[in-house]
């Protein structure tokens, strides 16, 4: 998606690829290498951190030096031979091999001389200061065997007669193990006085000095004995690194992702993302992770939040882990500064900022921008995140959980489906087709998330069509709570219908029309039940009038149809004054009707002790109210239990509860002449 020069972690090879304004530095460094020291050997160091661009600069220096035929550039990367013995032999064989590839016979002859010199040095075991060669280095000229000394003199003569400067670029020294770092530096010391030879060593000064200090008292002093001149990798200009970051993030602000305002884009880039990046390598690594992140989450989470959190993850892993560990504190608002939870959250936010070090300001901006409830701890300002779920911002705990999980939970609906449903809201039939894509387990999440979008006024017919589409979902929604503090499963559906009624020009007229067209009695009741004074134009009288009409329908409905109603117990209760003895007799004769009455009346109860970690769930049916409605119900329950019809688990549990009640001795009023039977 972004420029390959940015996203690839390979170093650049040519000046034309440089986007950080380093050409002048590279050319001056090339001039220094070509002229410093005359015919004497010179060792120059290029210092910089990992990812700072040392290899890219070496590549550009090689290109600059190659513009002048007087320069002969050779390269050696000791990391390629990490763990191998005979580092000296590898050094000379590698350089000789590069010379043998040249067509110039003089270069090939020089390669032969280097190869031969390395061959003579190879039998000298190792290059540690305690080995034979190390001791020879300390007594240079007096301790080398005659064959080695003579070969060295031959090589020196050839270089002096050579009309070109030999520049050896040595990279990746700081990637080696400490003992290998020491070997390379001793190698440079060993060959560092060959005439007409320049060495440019690229390494992280602190890492190499530490490795040398493990054996020498002062690693930095040891470096200074070898290196005649040292330069620092120039830091990228702010504007250049910013331009590289803009190129990386810009495609993710396109419309196909959850977009943001121009002001929010500038804030997140300037105050959060940009200050976190110091090197081009960091930008490249960041660019490389974004495609997968957006493929997984781009449709579920706002782009500005994804870009900010991924920047923290790539640059400040300790802070990122703190974000993960404090998801609740980042998204749940504390009640007041005197609250114990407030004090605990404030301490955790402070500890997180301490981990940010020099990037503290950027993380403070991240918290203010992405997690507004943290302003209570930062600025003593109580901010809310009410629209976070609608806007798919990580200020919502649910959205933040999706980010850390990198996937939706089975009960969460994809945002693409939700957006399609929101776009289709004025067209009820289209909404119905889209909700068919929503799995039953996802309906509750779908309904909660669609509610914030139900604010636009709509015509009476549009409101009715959309209400009817939502009523159709009623038969697919679960019927029982699974947690102690959970709301009834149909609660969000009731809220959606209520919100849709508010968008109509006349909520009562919309309710009346939708109830008239609803295909089930339970659906009619669901709509009528939402009429209340909160609708402004709705009154209790309006609701009572419609409920009276519904009760008449219930009393006249075929028993077989009633047995299919989800809210049968509630419907019969609303119609209780209109139910004739004949109706009740016919009703209790239908086994399926009796089972559904019990099933629809059953409720869940939760109990938890003071030290319990989880609540105990139990079930109950309102037996006293049911036998007031149907006095002969105990007899019907006993009959159905002897030969029960096919039923699901919920119906079976309700029938079992009813059977316990039906078998229990009936209580009679206590009188002076009779005692109440036990049980």
Looking at the predicted structure, is the pLDDT value of residue 126 above 70?
A: no
**CA-CA distance, 285 to 658, in Å (whole number)?**
65
Q: Structure tokens of 583? A: 């109706």
How would you label 375-390 residue by residue, b for 16+ Cβ within 10 Å and e otherwise?
ebbeeeeeeebeebbe
Which carries the bigger pLDDT value, residue 560 or residue 607? 560
Q: Which residues contact 456 (CB under 8 A, 6 or more apart)?
A: 503
**CA-CA distance, 438 to 414, in Å (whole number)?**
9
Looking at 20-29, 119-128, 211-220, 496-505, which range is the least confident one?
Answer: 119-128
- C-alpha to C-alpha distances, 480 to 119, 487, 654, 665, 673, nearest whole angstrom: 84, 9, 13, 30, 45
Instruction: Quote the pLDDT of residue 186.
Output: 84
Q: Structure tokens of 152? A: 């060295």
User: Three-class SS of residue 446?
Assistant: helix
Query: What mean pLDDT, rounded, does the chain reach?
Result: 86
With beta carbons less than 8 A apart as the criterion, state whether 597 and 589 touch. no
**CA-CA distance, 259 to 409, in Å (whole number)?**
23
Looking at the predicted structure, is the pLDDT value of residue 614 above 80?
A: no
Q: Which residues contact 624 (CB under 8 A, 6 or more apart)?
A: none
Instruction: Quote the pLDDT of residue 609.
Output: 64
List, for residues 616-658, the tens digit of each pLDDT value: 889 999 999 999 999 999 999 999 999 999 999 999 999 999 9
With beta carbons less than 8 A apart as the criterion, state whether 570 and 602 touch. no
SS (H, E, C) 66-110: HCCCCEEEEEECHHHHCCCCCHHHHHHHHHHHHHHCCCCHHHHHH
Rounded average pLDDT over 18-44: 87
Structure confidence at residue 128 as a pLDDT band (50, 70, 90)? very low
- In the chain, DSSP finds a helix count (H) and a strand count (E) of 36, 7
Instruction: Quote the pLDDT of residue 612.
Output: 58
Rounded average pLDDT over 411-427: 89
Could you list the beta-strand ranges (E) of 345-432.
none
Rounded average pLDDT over 600-604: 94
- C-alpha to C-alpha distances, 284 to 12, 155, 280, nearest whole angstrom: 12, 44, 6
With beta carbons less than 8 A apart as the criterion, state whether 444 and 489 touch. yes
Structure confidence at residue 611 as a pLDDT band (50, 70, 90)? low
Matching CATH number, 21-232, of 3.10.620.30, 3.40.50.300, 3.30.70.20, 3.40.47.10:
3.40.50.300
Other beta carbons within 10 Å of 162:
18
**CA-CA distance, 371 to 351, in Å (whole number)?**
16
List, for residues 564-593, the tens digit of each pLDDT value: 999 999 999 999 999 999 999 999 999 999
Instruction: Quote the pLDDT of residue 142.
Output: 43
Which carries the bigger pLDDT value, residue 132 or residue 224? 224
List, for residues 315-355, the tens digit of each pLDDT value: 999 999 999 999 999 998 776 667 778 888 899 999 999 99
């Amino acid at each position: 998606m972004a420029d390959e020069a940015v996203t690839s972690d390979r170093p650049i090879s040519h000046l034309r690829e440089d986007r950080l304004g380093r050409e002048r530095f590279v050319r001056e460094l090339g001039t220094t290498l070509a002229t410093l020291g005359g015919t004497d050997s010179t060792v120059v160091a290029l210092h910089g951190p990992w990812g700072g661009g040392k290899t890219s600069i070496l590549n550009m220096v090689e290109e600059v030096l190659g513009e002048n035929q007087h320069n002969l550039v050779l390269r050696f990367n000791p990391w390629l031979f990490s763990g191998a013995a005979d580092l000296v032999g590898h050094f000379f064989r590698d350089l000789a091999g590069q010379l043998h590839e040249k067509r110039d016979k003089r270069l090939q002859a020089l390669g032969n001389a280097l190869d031969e010199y390395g061959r003579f040095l190879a039998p000298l075991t190792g290059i540690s200061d305690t080995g034979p060669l190390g001791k020879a280095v300390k007594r240079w000229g007096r301790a080398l065997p005659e064959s080695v000394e003579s070969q060295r003199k031959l090589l020196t003569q050839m270089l002096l007669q050579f009309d070109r400067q030999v520049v050896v670029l040595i990279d990746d020294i700081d990637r080696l193990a400490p003992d290998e770092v020491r070997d390379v530096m001793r190698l440079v010391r060993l060959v560092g006085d060959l005439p007409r030879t320049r060495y440019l060593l690229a390494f992280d000064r602190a890492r190499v000095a530490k490795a040398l200090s493990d054996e020498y008292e002062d690693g930095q002093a040891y470096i200074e004995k070898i290196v005649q001149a040292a330069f620092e990798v120039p830091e990228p200009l702010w504007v250049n690194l910013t331009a590289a970051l803009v190129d990386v993030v810009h495609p993710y602000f396109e419309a196909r992702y959850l977009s943001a305002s121009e002001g929010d884009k500038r804030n997140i880039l300037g105050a959060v993302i940009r200050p976190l990046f110091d090197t081009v390598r960091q930008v490249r690594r960041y660019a490389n992770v974004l495609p997968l992140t957006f493929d997984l989450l781009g449709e579920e989470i706002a782009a500005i939040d994804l870009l900010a959190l991924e920047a923290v993850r790539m640059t400040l892993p300790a802070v990122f882990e703190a974000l993960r560990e404090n998801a609740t504190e980042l998204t749940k608002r504390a009640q007041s500064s005197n609250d114990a939870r407030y004090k605990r959250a404030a301490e955790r936010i402070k500890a997180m900022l301490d981990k940010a070090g020099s990037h503290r300001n950027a993380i403070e901006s991240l918290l203010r921008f992405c997690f507004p409830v943290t302003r209570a701890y930062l600025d003593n300002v109580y901010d809310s995140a009410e629209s976070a779920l609608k806007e798919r911002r990580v200020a919502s705990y649910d959205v933040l959980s999706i980010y850390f999980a990198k996937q939706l939970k089975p009960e969460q609906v994809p945002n693409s489906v939700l957006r399609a449903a929101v776009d289709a809201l004025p067209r009820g039939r289209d909404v119905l087709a889209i909700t068919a894509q929503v799995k039953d387990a996802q309906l509750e999440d779908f309904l909660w998330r669609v509610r914030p979008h139900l604010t636009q006024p709509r015509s009476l017919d549009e409101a009715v069509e959309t209400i009817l589409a939502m009523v159709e979902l009623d038969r697919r929604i679960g019927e029982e709570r699974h947690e102690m503090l959970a709301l009834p499963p149909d609660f969000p559906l009731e809220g959606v219908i209520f919100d849709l009624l508010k968008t109509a020009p006349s909520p009562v007229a919309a309710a009346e029309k939708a109830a008239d067209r609803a295909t089930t009695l339970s659906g009619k009741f669901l709509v009528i039940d939402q009429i209340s004074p909160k609708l402004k134009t709705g009154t209790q009288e309006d609701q009572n009038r419609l409920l009276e009409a519904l009760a008449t329908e219930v009393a006249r409905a075929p028993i077989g149809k009633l047995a299919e109603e989800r809210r049968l117990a509630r419907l019969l209760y609303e119609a209780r004054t209109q139910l004739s003895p004949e109706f009740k007799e016919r009703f209790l004769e239908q086994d399926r009707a009796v089972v559904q009455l019990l099933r629809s009346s059953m409720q869940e109860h939760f109990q938890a002790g003071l030290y319990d970690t989880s609540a105990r769930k139990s079930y109950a049916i309102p037996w006293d109210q049911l036998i007031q409605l149907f006095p002969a119900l105990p007899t019907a329950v006993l009959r159905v239990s002897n030969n029960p019809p096919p039923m699901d688990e919920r119906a079976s549990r309700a029938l079992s509860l009813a059977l316990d009640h039906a078998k229990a001795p009936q209580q009679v009023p206590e009188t002076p002449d009779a005692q109440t039977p036990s049980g």
